[in-house]
Structure 1
């Protein structure tokens, strides 16, 4: 289940060297360690100037034949030991001579990369691999991780450790992170139960079907490898055969789909050919292309310092140049960047299909020519807009000298097509090309392969079209069907034996495969089971009364299997979506089951804690104090937090300086003042002149108890918390190494990046190589389970709209004709492939389950459930009904204890007058009670974008009210010039003047008002009614302001203006029910006509009269709960959490 690289052998070798030097279990000054190791190696260190030709731009260089190391004498004295230790790494790890180049010595977090930024592309060419190994060796040689952990747990912190070690602070901080923020490396793994068959990866010899394809003299060959048939073992066997046949290792290229697969392939090759594996290039397609373009940048007409831009930076780039995009259908005044992620995905998919901006525009034009309905014409116009954005985006990339990830393949194909010399060089470099997971290769990758694999004589690919589950991001299983066309004379072969599953499960997997769309299969599989028939029924089907009962049944089964010998870590629950996985993980935790759930990194409480620390030092509003004050090191009572924020706001003081000034805040308790000053002093000292990585690393390791508290807890939850902290540090270090925009403050830039990342990407927590140390149930999506296997597997939620899930809206669908894949890419086929992957992960036991009701909604069985029942019937089994809905222990803590940041609810005051609130406040409470608390109780500011939209909205509303008053009053209908003048005055007074998107906001506002002006000129008039009224409800009074209110005969016409696009749910919003109730209370007996007017397109719809009492009760209940102090983090729409201005501090 590992997602991170495994460097344990390198670290162990460094500790062996220390032991051989007689350096016991004590920390030793870095210079002394290096001196001893240099002497033991029989080397001499020669200091030289940084411009010495022996260095060739590097910090140090090893000359093994001449037995010396040169080191840059201009380096700081603290940095020289690491540079020399890096060269010692080459000496002790790498038998062949090796010369370092510029950038090779890296004190940074070299052991792992987060999957954002350049970290999404990991290159596994031999040089980079050896340089990384030498860096890992150097860090461990100078500061062994186990010793650092022991000293830290004993109470030593950064200053003490540095005095014991010497060396640079940066290197020590990175090694502390690498040593403390991961679980300790385990003792040898627990024994496997007697009689159990080892996983396929551990089986030694190849079977006849594997051996036949591994030893094929030449290609092109396509190997179809079903689940559990030893695909990777066969590929490694192919490598071993080639090496034994005399093929030079540097002439072998192995390509695969993901960074994880490339790492695992490299590790497996190293295990069978340790002396020669370093020379084999094992890489992803993207990393291979990055290396190709860097080596041939001039010929590809690219900058020499080729730099990648990730999707987050790409979205920020578009946002900075929003005015140049001239958006119409993809504009949103509330959030101008709302559609950028969807637009960039469409552009990326176009590049996967080798379609440039002009080609995209041509496809959109063809859509327009063929359109016969309004919907088709609108789709064509939107596609044309995407094409314009594509062209503008490409010009921006060229202007700033950047490439995105799609460009890596796109421009590599262009280079190889255009430059015969480069193409010939690549073909000559690699005699044999091996490709793993061929069904996941996209169109651009397949074209690239044809360009440098030539006639395919050295081409050997392996895959299984039934496991094609990445079509949504460009994978083209048609490559499997077209293999014979792409490479004439190609042969196919099958791996025949399933080593993973017991015989009944192999039969089930075969039945699922046979039911897949015939166009997506390669015939009915007949895998031979290697394992014997199971003693007990290995397949179960559960039907629960509701979702809670389903989770309860899963928890009981997990406990039962654990009691009979299947450890928690032997069991996995595979869900269709991340949301389902999060809900099940939480439910299991509440029932006492230890869970390892690799959720979104930014949903983790410890990550929010640390983001709040950065925010409190970098963002002057101090909102983050609400969360920081709940941490054990900085405990400040909620009443004091509110008083500090109010006093700072009144005095105009910025944070963190306001914390120090709290010494003089009279409304704060003595204990609160003392804690605030201590926190302010600490953060000021930590943050001054430092970026986010430096701040966080020192916060965690220089003093305080945050890390120590987690280290003292051996539970899986605490171990996952440490991993989350470590990966946030990796992200901070990655971004700290990037150049800052001119004039940018590094910590604020980091927070801006994280906010954009939260809004557009799903960054998953990653596990270390020794993840099996967690004895906890694995909960993950089916996509994440690809390539894994578990003794016991559960596949829940097999109900309609759950598995398969409901259709997701695509804001920028691809134009017709863009996909080269001519196979039917139906959603049903992909869902069946996902079901196939899920079912085939099980070794011993497979449990399917569904509920008849989720929440308040009844759900019919999934179409896939029919197959479950068919398989059970064939085995003489039936589904089991689980009728009881047992409640979870929702009070059971699932993480370390923390105080609430909001006061506890209070009983109502029977003698108090009914409260009166504005409708705007009540609507905010309905949207999310906790957000209401932050905004209206604590009066925390909103983010600039929200404030700007509110200002725009208020300017439009004020001008619209003025316009309606003019038309409905004695002055008559004003001309557009009068309206424009009134709007201009309002904008100058109250608009977002000076905002980066002011031009966009103003143009949008003027368009809305012009449409309203035109419409009101044509609309009938009446007598003006009330502009504002107060409505009496049972427990409160709510003031409501109408956008327009007229009396016409005995009818009151009330208008609600909206700036967005029409949606069905708009007709049922509580505001409209309150409009109607206001008319009833203040004009009894009158007819009431409530309508929504959409300013963007001039349309209008009547409000529904259904469920009005229920809607009014919701408003009344919201006020009652807010007055009682109930502010739970329960948003109506959880998709908005990522863009909430209070995301860093909210416990949701």
Structure 2
């Protein structure tokens, strides 16, 4: 949508599906949106805000939208600007609370706001030393996480032992609960002595001010009259307490969440605020968004089936996704001998996808633990495939990016009126950008990728908003403050937790085996259920191509002791690592039922292919499965290849079978009748 076109309320509503429209039209009173993955929740709520502003129901400056990440907040502000709506505050809980705390602190407390301690490690180390504990880096990390859990769960040192036991918390870093309780107390002492606060204190202090100063609470409530909270399933008790104080006795609250994507319980997040919302607000509207516009029917079907096997741990608030995209390629399942072979196999598949036209920036490899990344990095480097590890150095902290922003800021004063795409290229050429990527890998390539991301952002802003250089610089400065980085064109390596909220054309889920997913220390039923949801999150990141894999052994030549994840029992198509093989008839029934549910046309094609295969088997005297396996026929029925090259990408179609059966299979896909003649006829 161009910067000169401001849609009317009618145009906004007409651009939504029925369920999204129900969200956008519910402008007053409490509203709970149960939004499945890929169902357009951000579109629905941004259009709701825009419709509220257009219709006069909302003053944009009185709307506070709270998101889970700074990136999501930046995206929401960007979308609202594209809809011609400015002035809405879209921030994370911490960013919103810090803004208020900085404003009210001088009057409510006096003096300047204490410095925020970005990392707990030095404070935890000092508190541990006073307690006589011997700690290392890993121990400090685990103790810091437990302190954070206590604070966001509103658990004090005095009641830690009882509350931690009731919550089923494992003993952090091998320390008993009484020791942890004392550590929590000493941590606060150290913090006070150093005159600093941590990130949780930002929320706790703001809660305290709002509770004790009615005048401050009244001013905040006069400012903000309409609230939206995204990713509501991940809200902690501390965040909920702050939200309650923002609201007061009012009910102008819209919450959006998906219980099936609850993956941060270990940090103190809880889905109960989402599931209990209709009970807390009896007049609340409840809208389910189930139409999945992100993923193909093949990806959606697998995601649904993984959740369906959750049994009693599946919430009644869970959304069963309904695919809206055309059929795509079959989901791939691969087993490798060891981690090195798995990484090499993934790299080879990525290279094949690139040749087929999938951009590197639209490919991600996801894993359960960060330790799995090393083999993948080596394999991608050896294959000369550029990549970036999500969670590394922040984009706007990189030296080349900081230098480029300075150059662009100067150009905005001297090159006003120049076309933005050309001007940006001229400016960044002086910083080392070239139209073609360098052949070198490592730091040289990473520097180019950073500059190329700025070029791509400039092109996008010029096309969608008609932005000039000054507008580009303003956008970069806002993105820097929100850490909303532009897309970098490289394969993304990320943990499943870090991938939440993102999506790619092609996704590789590696290490999908017992001990990794679910992780070995997930011992309770609740912990295992969360691991299942983590797999669901990973699956639903994929738009079109999805491959799940695992390695039978960790090291080359090691004992093949690993088995596929229990979450894929009945879904993994191969008899591997001791898994029971279904009977051929049962396999056909399962595949036919899956296709019939997600792709009726594909199911009919599958049956035509099976009928042709039976004729070939009879004519040649071969068992049907030696012609083409059911797995391969299902892949053909799902992908509907248009030529031999596309057919050759499918699993089970080697060069010999491509030559022998390829033309006939393609003819059947086109709907033609194929006559099978006996050999020598």
TM range (shorter): 0.5 to 0.7
Instruction: Determine the structure 2 residue equivalent to 1:653.
Output: none
Instruction: Determine the structure 1 residue equivalent to 2:662.
Output: none
Which of 107, 113, 116 is residue 308 of structure 1 equivalent to? Answer: 116
Instruction: Determine the structure 1 residue equivalent to 2:340.
Output: 548
The answer on 1:342 being equivalent to 2:112 is no
Instruction: Determine the structure 2 residue equivalent to 1:501.
Output: 295
Q: Distance in 1 between matches of 2:386 and 2:336?
A: 22
Instruction: Determine the structure 2 residue equivalent to 1:788.
Output: 502
Which of 331, 342, 366 is residue 134 of structure 2 equivalent to? Answer: 331
**TM-score if structure 2 supplies the norm length?**
0.66
Contact 2:62/2:225 (CA < 8 Å) preserved in 1?
yes
SS of 1:316's equivalent in the other structure is helix
Change (3 A) 1:293 1:567: closer
Instruction: Determine the structure 1 residue equivalent to 2:532.
Output: 832
Instruction: Determine the structure 2 residue equivalent to 1:255.
Output: 66
Which of 591, 608, 612 is residue 875 of structure 1 equivalent to? Answer: 591
Q: Distance in 2 between matches of 1:203 and 1:219?
A: 19
Which of 1, 21, 28 is residue 218 of structure 1 equivalent to? Answer: 28
Shift of 1:213: 0.9
SS of 2:66's equivalent in the other structure is strand
Instruction: Determine the structure 1 residue equivalent to 2:38.
Output: 228
Instruction: Determine the structure 1 residue equivalent to 2:89.
Output: 281
Instruction: Determine the structure 2 residue equivalent to 1:713.
Output: 438
Contact 1:710/1:721 (CA < 8 Å) preserved in 2?
no
Contact 1:601/1:724 (CA < 8 Å) preserved in 2?
no
Shift of 1:298: 4.9
Which of 836, 852, 860 is residue 563 of structure 2 equivalent to? Answer: 860
Contact 1:596/1:717 (CA < 8 Å) preserved in 2?
no
Shift of 1:720: 5.5
Change (3 A) 1:260 1:867: farther
Q: Distance in 2 between matches of 1:833 and 1:209?
A: 24
Q: Distance in 2 between matches of 1:226 and 1:292?
A: 32
The answer on 1:779 being equivalent to 2:493 is yes
Number of residue pairs matched?
A: 506
Contact 2:40/2:293 (CA < 8 Å) preserved in 1?
yes
Instruction: Determine the structure 1 residue equivalent to 2:486.
Output: 769
Instruction: Determine the structure 2 residue equivalent to 1:531.
Output: 325
Instruction: Determine the structure 2 residue equivalent to 1:1044.
Output: none
Q: Distance in 1 between matches of 2:440 and 2:140?
A: 40
Q: Distance in 1 between matches of 2:110 and 2:631?
A: 63
SS of 1:228's equivalent in the other structure is coil
Q: Distance in 2 between matches of 1:867 and 1:236?
A: 40
Change (3 A) 1:454 1:544: same
**TM-score if structure 1 supplies the norm length?**
0.41
Instruction: Determine the structure 1 residue equivalent to 2:104.
Output: 296
Instruction: Determine the structure 2 residue equivalent to 1:596.
Output: 388
**Residues 56-98 of structure 1, C-alpha deviation per residue, up to 9 Å, x if partnerless?**
xxxxxxxxxxxxxxxxxxxxxxxxxxxxxxxxxxxxxxxxxxx
**Residues 515-549 of structure 1, C-alpha deviation per residue, up to 9 Å, x if partnerless?**
33544523564433222233xx4212112233333
**Residues 999-1054 of structure 1, C-alpha deviation per residue, up to 9 Å, x if partnerless?**
xxxxxxxxxxxxxxxxxxxxxxxxxxxxxxxxxxxxxxxxxxxxxxxxxxxxxxxx
Task: Output aligned runs, 1:443-482, within 5 Å.
Answer: 443-482=237-276
Change (3 A) 1:724 1:387: farther
Q: Distance in 1 between matches of 2:311 and 2:221?
A: 37
Shift of 1:203: 13
Shift of 1:355: 1.9
Q: Distance in 2 between matches of 1:296 and 1:706?
A: 43
Shift of 1:342: 2.9
Instruction: Determine the structure 2 residue equivalent to 1:797.
Output: 511
Q: Distance in 2 between matches of 1:433 and 1:474?
A: 22
Contact 1:224/1:492 (CA < 8 Å) preserved in 2?
yes
Instruction: Determine the structure 2 residue equivalent to 1:130.
Output: none
Shift of 1:784: 2.2
Moved more, 525-534 or 579-588: 525-534
Shift of 1:406: 1.0
Contact 1:303/1:401 (CA < 8 Å) preserved in 2?
no
Shift of 1:408: 1.4
SS of 2:27's equivalent in the other structure is coil
SS of 2:159's equivalent in the other structure is helix
The answer on 1:440 being equivalent to 2:234 is yes
Task: Output aligned runs, 1:331-480, within 5 Å.
Answer: 331-332=134-135, 339-360=139-160, 382-480=176-274
Q: Distance in 2 between matches of 1:204 and 1:573?
A: 37
Two-structure CA RMSD over aligned residues (Å) = 3.9
The answer on 1:264 being equivalent to 2:75 is yes
Change (3 A) 1:463 1:588: same
Change (3 A) 1:346 1:320: closer
Q: Distance in 2 between matches of 1:719 and 1:227?
A: 37
Q: Which runs of 5+ in 2 are unaligned?
A: 4-11, 400-429, 452-482, 575-586, 593-629, 633-649, 653-681
Task: Output aligned runs, 1:91-106, within 5 Å.
Answer: none
Q: Distance in 1 between matches of 2:161 and 2:493?
A: 43
Contact 1:423/1:451 (CA < 8 Å) preserved in 2?
yes
Q: Distance in 1 between matches of 2:280 and 2:308?
A: 26
SS of 2:105's equivalent in the other structure is coil
The answer on 1:245 being equivalent to 2:59 is no
Shift of 1:725: 10
The answer on 1:582 being equivalent to 2:390 is no
Instruction: Determine the structure 2 residue equivalent to 1:990.
Output: none
Task: Output aligned runs, 1:724-735, within 5 Å.
Answer: none
Change (3 A) 1:289 1:296: same
Change (3 A) 1:498 1:549: same
SS of 2:335's equivalent in the other structure is strand
* Structure of higher CA gyration radius: 1
Task: Output aligned runs, 1:991-1140, within 5 Å.
Answer: none
Instruction: Determine the structure 2 residue equivalent to 1:1143.
Output: none
SS of 2:307's equivalent in the other structure is helix
Moved more, 841-850 or 418-427: 418-427
Shift of 1:351: 1.0
Q: Distance in 1 between matches of 2:214 and 2:313?
A: 37
**Residues 477-527 of structure 1, C-alpha deviation per residue, up to 9 Å, x if partnerless?**
122122134334323210131111122322222222323354452356443
Contact 2:306/2:568 (CA < 8 Å) preserved in 1?
no
Instruction: Determine the structure 1 residue equivalent to 2:475.
Output: none
Shift of 1:466: 0.5
Change (3 A) 1:863 1:425: same
SS of 1:783's equivalent in the other structure is coil
**Residues 736-772 of structure 1, C-alpha deviation per residue, up to 9 Å, x if partnerless?**
xxxxxxxxxxxxxxxxxxxxxxxxxxxxxx994142x
Change (3 A) 1:347 1:320: closer
Instruction: Determine the structure 2 residue equivalent to 1:677.
Output: none
Q: Distance in 1 between matches of 2:525 and 2:197?
A: 29
Contact 1:442/1:475 (CA < 8 Å) preserved in 2?
yes
Q: Which runs of 5+ in 1 are unaligned?
A: 1-8, 11-201, 608-704, 727-765, 810-823, 883-1148
Contact 1:456/1:487 (CA < 8 Å) preserved in 2?
no
Q: Distance in 2 between matches of 1:599 and 1:432?
A: 33
Task: Output aligned runs, 1:897-976, within 5 Å.
Answer: none
Shift of 1:844: 1.6
Which of 189, 207, 229 is residue 17 of structure 2 equivalent to? Answer: 207
Change (3 A) 1:344 1:225: same
Contact 2:74/2:484 (CA < 8 Å) preserved in 1?
no
